[in-house]
A and B are shown apart, each in its own frame.
Chain A
Amino acid sequence: GAVVSQHPSRVICKSGTSVKIECRSLDFQATTMFWYRQFPKQSLMLMATSNEGSKATYEQGVEKDKFLINHASLTLSTLTVTSAHPEDSSFYICSARPQREALYNEQFFGPGTRLTVL
Chain B
Amino acid sequence: GEDVEQSLFLSVREGDSSVINCTYTDSSSTYLYWYKQEPGAGLQLLTYIFSNMDMKQDQRLTVLLNKKDKHLSLRIADTQTGDSAIYFCAESMGYNTDKLIFGTGTRLQVFP
Flag if B41 contacts A112 (CB, 8 Å): yes
Listed in ascending order, the chain A residues whose CB lies under 8 Å from chain B are 4, 6, 32, 34, 41-46, 49, 93, 95, 97, 103-105, 107-112, 114
Q: What residues of chain B have their CB less than 8 Å away from a CB belonging to chain A? A: 4, 31, 33, 35, 40-45, 48, 50, 88, 92, 97-105
Interface of A is mostly: strand
Which residues of B lie under 8 Å from residue A111 when comparing CB positions?
40-42
- Please, how many angstroms separate the alpha-carbon atoms of A49 and B41 in the complex? 21
B35 cross-chain contacts in A, Cβ below 8 A: 109
A107 to B99, CA, bound (A): 10
- Closest Cβ–Cβ distance, residue A23 to chain B (whole Å): 10
A-B contacts, 16 listed (Cβ < 8 Å): A6-B42, A41-B105, A42-B104, A42-B105, A43-B88, A44-B88, A46-B99, A104-B31, A105-B97, A105-B100, A107-B45, A109-B42, A109-B44, A110-B42, A111-B41, A112-B41
